[in-house]
Amino acid sequence: MTHIQVPFPEGFLWGASTAAHQIEGNNTNSDWWVKEHSTGTHIQEPSLDACDSYHRWTEDMDLLASLGFTDYRFSVEWARVEPVEGRFSRAELAHYRRMVEGAIARGLRPMVTLHHFTVPQWFEARGGWTADGATELFARYVAACAPVISEGVSHVCTINEPNMIAVMAGQAKRGDIGFPPAGLPTPDDETTEAVIAAHHAAVKEVRAIDAGIQVGWTIANQVYQARPGAEEVTAAYRHPREDVFIEAARGDDWIGVQSYTRTEIGPDGPIPTAGDVERTLTQWEYYPAAVGHALRHTAEVIGPEMPLIVTENGIATADDTRRVAYYTGALNEVASAIEDGLNVQGYLAWSALDNYEWGSFAPTFGLIAVDWETFERTARPSAEWLGSLGRTRQLPRTAG
C-alpha cells in the first residue's frame, strides 16, 4: 500500500472532541435533562451517568495524551456554571479550570467550547435564545468563564453548530418530532438571528478576557450536492441552513468545520439515500469525502484567509475497521485540501469516547470504547492508529 506524508503545517491541532452533556453524566440543571425525562420526544433513553467523565476526565485525558494526540476539545457546561439565573458556581468554575490545567499538564492543548447544545433549564424556561435579554445572559456567562479560559487556552468556540440550534428550534416550533427522511428541517429565522447576535457578543467577551485567545464557532456542514440542474435549488436550500452561519464568522479568528456525510439535492429538494448504499449507525451514508467538500465550501464562502479547523469528523460504527477506513479517506481529503492551499490548521476527531448521542447511546462514534457498567475505557485500534499518525505522518493513500 502506498503512503503519503501528510502535509500538516507547523502547530497543527491534532486531537479529538467531546461535549459536556454527552460524556459528563448527571447534567441535571440542563434543558436536555428535563427533555430526556419528558414524554412525546424522539429521545429513546436518558443520558443519566453518560461516561461519568465529570469524575473520570483525568482518565480520558491520560488516554488521549498517551495515544499521541496533542489537542483536546471539550466543553464547559453552562447549566453547571450558572445553575440558577445570576448565581455562578465557583466550584464548577474551579472544576473546569482543573480540566484546562490537567490537559496542559498532559501535553494536550485545550480547545474549550462554551456552549454545546445544552442550556440551563432556567434559560430555556424563560424562552431560550429568542427571549429578551438572551444575548446579554449568554455574554454574562461567557464573561464568568474568565477563570477557566484566561490562561493557557489558545482556542475557544463560543457556540457549537448554531445552524443545528436554529434547525431544532424550527422543528420544535412546528411541533414536529424527528427529522425529515432527507435534509434538515427549516431553521427558525428568529433563532438564527439570536444565536448570531449571541456569538458576536461572546466573541467580544472572550477578547476582553484575553485578546490573544483565538475565538470562533463551529458549523455543521451537510455537504449539499446538487444533482444536475439543481444548482440553484441547492444554493437556496443551503443558505439558511449553513452559509448564513459561515458568513457570520467574518472577523473571527478561525471557523470550525464539522461534517459526517452528504446530502444530495434534486430539483424537488433533498433526495433520500438509496437503499443499497452503505450506512453508518446513525443511518447516514458512509461518505468519508464529506470533510473535503465541507472545507472547500467553507473556504469559498468565507474567503481563503480564514483559518479552518476540522473540529468534528467521524463515524458511528460497530466495526472499527470501517472507522479506520473512514478516517483514512477523510484525512486524504484534508491532505489534498492543504496541498491545494486551503488554510487548514487542525483536525479533531469526533469523538474521543463512545457517548450519549442526543437520545441514545447506540451510535458509537468513539475512538475509545466505554463499558457502561464499570465506565472502564478501552482504546480501539483506530485510536492507536489515529493518535500515532500525529507522530508518523504516514497516511495510507486512498484512490481518488
Binding site for ligand BGC (CB under 6 A): 19, 22, 160-161, 164, 220, 258, 312, 350, 357
DSSP line for 210-240: -TTSEEEEEEEE--EEEPTT-HHHHHHHHII
**Minimum distance, C-beta of residue 288 to ligand BGC, in the bound complex (Å):** 15
185 DSSP 8-state letter = P
Residue 22 or 298: which CB sits closer to ligand BGC?
22
Residue 285 or 357: which CB sits closer to ligand BGC?
357
**Minimum distance, C-beta of residue 24 to ligand BGC, in the bound complex (Å):** 13
**Minimum distance, C-beta of residue 389 to ligand BGC, in the bound complex (Å):** 22
Residue in the structure block whose three cell numbers are 467523565: 53
Q: Can you count the helices (H) and strands (E) in the chain?
A: 15, 15
Residue 79 or 220: which CB sits closer to ligand BGC?
220
- Express the helix, strand and coil content of the chain in percent, nearest 5 each: 40, 20, 40
188 vs 171: CA distance, rounded Å: 8
217 vs 244: CA distance, rounded Å: 13
110 vs 103: CA distance, rounded Å: 6
Residue 23 or 202: which CB sits closer to ligand BGC?
23
**Minimum distance, C-beta of residue 381 to ligand BGC, in the bound complex (Å):** 21
**Minimum distance, C-beta of residue 245 to ligand BGC, in the bound complex (Å):** 13
**Minimum distance, C-beta of residue 27 to ligand BGC, in the bound complex (Å):** 13
What SS3 state is found at 95?
helix
Residue 79 or 209: which CB sits closer to ligand BGC?
79
Angle between helices 381-392 and 53-67 (to 10 degrees): 50
Residue 135 or 221: which CB sits closer to ligand BGC?
221
